[in-house]
Structure 1
């Protein structure tokens, strides 16, 4: 059944949630910090106990967040003024003997500016088994990571490609004047539509595969959480499987997305890529890029094939020990072996339609511990790339400074004349925490970057103090300065 939430039902449901304070703040207040944290660890007992004295709000917490069964009388009181028959008709509730359970996942979700409710399908744990093929995923770790990695600057138009439950479009509506959301799944579009109606948002919804629904249109920003699971070309679950082999789904989005951007427009997506024996992953992903596209590929993790398969089987509610699980795992691992797959990379891709002959393309690892949102850093990265494109020929005339957030670490070992410095490493203490190893001359050069003298004068002084010529030093200094500028470890002074 494809649920159809009317405006009237959504208005009544919103009234019930507002009356009971079924929102992120209200749930936290009702449960308390300890029980709320335990719930996040899939340890529900504390939350069950805390919700017992929370009245109607407690009923909604047990019903929608804990997967509990409640009496019709309690649910009717908690959802008033929503008629139970209407909630049952759209699948919001389902019967369990004389009790009622949630038929859909409805949970609060918010940011620093406010709160929403997101409607999706119940996960495998609450279903008690494998999810159906048309399963609509809720707000999970992947979608949250894309939310945090997305640039939040005002734009006119934003496309959420493959919207699922609609959570990316919710956040996009904060900074975009008009939002369009697409999906190939009618069920996903129905639940996304219910989410938007419940939150009183006007979002254009279109059905179709990939970019077909928006053919010949362009947007200022595109976000995409595609079905990026890699493996044999099959579709078991529409939320994660594309029907394309290997990492072709990620490759398709990267290849086609820039054509749907306005000049200077930005696209951001989650992606996976194969690590093939004898092949550099950076070479693989850069081959996907169309001309005239700035690109920043950030690899956050590399999964072993065996771990990867087991993780996604459990995600769908399949026990890897079961006959079905072993059969699917075997076929999956055979495909990896036949294609010489040594690992599966996962990360974020930021693209900008630049229409230039020599775009900037950078692939780098960010597998260190990092909890800050990547979105602001992605925006600054694009700014710094644009500055280098405009002023790259003027670096020698530019005055630079090292930000206060950048520190120099030195490591010394015993030598013939006492302690001798063996490692000099720059650390950026904010953002992704980039690091760069530098030599003695680079350390001396950066010590002079205080925003007073242009780079050419600093190189002249360095040549005088250490021997050689400024021209010789330029050859090594200019590429280093460009890289440090891109990483925000030195910045131009206007």
Structure 2
């Protein structure tokens, strides 16, 4: 366990700290301007020396707070008192973010600005978390509270941007998802099995003036038994870790179960806590075992009447997976502990017949009509995933009543035609999405013409009749060919209903 106590989220002290940080302009762009883009990017790769070189000799307020709170380095007490005139060093210590003597203030937590973009615009929060492996210069303690990492940013991007009354952030960690969801929810309940994590999450809510989040301690859904939510989001501790006394278990990533049982438990349990039409979204890992793919195993866990949309973004071998997460804990092949840990991971996977491990997004919805059941693997660059998922769900609901009367080609769709030398007719016609899931779909001339004519003015029936006349094909025959492919384009967001 960590040698440092959890922070103390005192409202008045947090307000004073926020005022000092605001006055110092401790935000992403000013810091990036202070020490340069290259040095800032290097910090994301675990190197702080470029920043230290860039601000060497700078004793200003922003440089002092950058070293103290962003890098996690001791600073002179007099400089910190100057940089935090409202809170002071004593207040920083009382919050549990630092220790101090007569000369030096030593940080025991990080506090970094984190920018975000959502439907309401661009914003930024201050996010406190435990010192990372760069500041600690070694392995992380098991109860480490992670700041905003890659998985946090991924979950934030995939959440469907809907307005809801009640939301649940299960396994809130430092609280970043709860803060994001709180912008579109009346009330958010944020839970975690770690009291330390909840203390950070509450502090971050106070620092950023977010007051519609309720924090509860407990495992999985235990803190919300009997309740229902319009939206559930979770970046759970899904990392598959061998169980054993010699294998460290990190609260922020290890759920304490064997294999992918934690993801299974979530997707089997979450529907009970959804309102009608409610959505649950999570990140997870799933194992392919003895010839059964992870996607097939996952689909079998979800009741047939629920909407299910799974997107697998990555697939790793047992060796690659083990190395990734051993290194994540701060252990490298140079360390004596690396080989025993690697052996434990590989033995664990072998015992279950695991051949690969998938990573991706899971969306569940308690719908009311014909359920959407979609599992797919997408490895291309994606953007605006939450909006794309929302578009797909909306399209699925519309298609339950038939193809909409009037359709419009989405503004990010382009067409590419490939011709063999000397030929006037294309051998391949592709429709390409510029955003969302960046899908590419091969189409024939009739479907390409349909999409090209879908300008929101002509009805689907008018376009189909014109194409039947053009290609000299009976309308029923043409429609039988076009209709299922038009449905797919609506579901994938190439075609959207005209307003």
Same fold (TM over 0.5): yes
1:255-266 counterparts in 2 under 5 A? 255-266=268-279
Q: Say whether the 8 Å CA contact 2:322–2:342 is kept in structure 1.
A: yes
| Aligned mate of 1:208, from 198, 210, 218 | 218
- Higher mean C-alpha deviation, range 328-337 or range 206-215: 328-337
What corresponds to 2:236 in structure 1? 226
Q: Which moved more, 1:430-439 or 1:79-88?
A: 79-88
Does residue 97 of structure 2 align to residue 87 of structure 1?
A: no
1:7 aligns with 2:11: yes
**Mapped partners of 1:478, 1:96: distance in 2:** 74
Q: What displacement does 1:193 show?
A: 1.6
Match of 1:492 among 485, 492, 497: 497
Structure-to-structure mapping, 1:238-387, within 5 angstroms: 238-356=251-369, 358-370=370-382, 372-387=383-398
1:393-422 per-residue CA deviation (whole Å, 9 max, x = no partner) reads: xx3x733343343222222336xx857643
1:402 is aligned to 2:406? no
Match of 1:67 among 72, 78, 84: 72
Q: Superposition RMSD on alpha carbons, in Å?
A: 2.6
Provide the rounded CA distance (Å) in 2 between the counterparts of 1:162 and 1:45.
33
CA contact (8 A) 2:89 2:105 kept: no
CA deviation vs aligned residue, 1:63-86 (integer Å, no higher than 9, x gap): 122232322222232233334345
Alpha-carbon displacement from aligned partner over 1:180-203 (angstroms, at most 9, x marks no partner)? 100011111111122222223222
Equivalent residues in 2 for 1:104-183, closer than 5 Å: 104-111=109-116, 112-183=121-192
Shift of 1:233: 4.6
| Aligned partner of 2:443 among 438, 442, 455 | 438
SS of the residue aligned with 2:429?
A: strand
Aligned to 2:311, the other structure's residue is in SS state: strand
Partner of 1:237: 250
Deviates more, 1:326-335 or 1:439-448: 439-448
For the 8 Å contact 2:287–2:293, the answer to whether it is kept is no
2:406/2:459 contact within 8 Å kept: yes
Say if 1:270 and 1:346, in contact at 8 Å, map to a contact too: yes
1:191-241 Cα offsets, whole Å, 9 max, x none, are: 112222222322211111101101111112111110111243567111111
Residue 393 (structure 2) pairs with residue 388 (structure 1): no
What is the CA distance between 1:166 and its match in structure 2? 0.6
Matched, 1:19 2:23: yes
* Aligned residues of 1:92 and 1:103 also touching (Cα < 8 A): yes
Contact 2:384 2:435 in 1 (8 A): no
- SS of 1:323's equivalent in the other structure is coil
SS in 2 for 1:287: helix
The secondary structure found in structure 2 opposite 1:19 is helix
Q: State the alpha-carbon separation in 2 of the partners of residues 175 and 452 from structure 1.
A: 34
* CA spacing shift, 1:13–1:463, aligned 2, 3 Å: closer
Q: Which runs of 5+ in 2 are unaligned?
A: none
Shift of 1:262: 1.6
Match of residue 47 from structure 1: 51
Quick one: structure 1 residues 423 and 55, their matched pair in 2 at CA, closer, same or farther if it must change by over 3 Å?
same
Tell me how far apart the structure 2 counterparts of residues 250 and 340 of structure 1 sit (CA, whole Å): 18
Q: Which deviates further from its counterpart, 341-350 or 271-280?
A: 271-280
Matches within 5 A, 1:24-39: 24-39=28-43
Deviating more after overlay: 87-96 vs 315-324: 87-96
Conserved in 2, the CA contact under 8 Å of 1:313 and 1:320?
Answer: no
Asked whether the equivalents of residues 181 and 206 of structure 1 are also in contact (C-alpha less than 8 Å), the reply is: yes
Counterpart of 2:81 in structure 1 is: 76
Instruction: Return the alpha-carbon distance in structure 1 between the equivalents of residues 123 and 461 of structure 2.
Output: 50
**Displacement of 1:322 after TM fit?**
2.6
Aligned partner of residue 319 in structure 1, secondary structure? coil
In 2, Cα distance between equivalents of 1:452 and 1:15:
54
Q: Distance in 2 between matches of 1:2 and 1:269?
A: 27
Verify the 8 A CA contact 1:269 1:350 in the aligned structure 2.
Answer: yes
Structure-1 separation of matches of 2:428 and 2:355: 32
In structure 1, distance between residues paired with 2:357 and 2:202:
33
Deviations 1:244-290 (A, max 9, x none): 22222122222222221221122221121223342234322211213
1:379 and 1:60 map into 2 onto residues whose CA distance is 40
| Paired residues of 1:64 and 1:105 also in contact (CA < 8 A) | yes
CA distance in 2, matches of 1:448, 1:254: 42
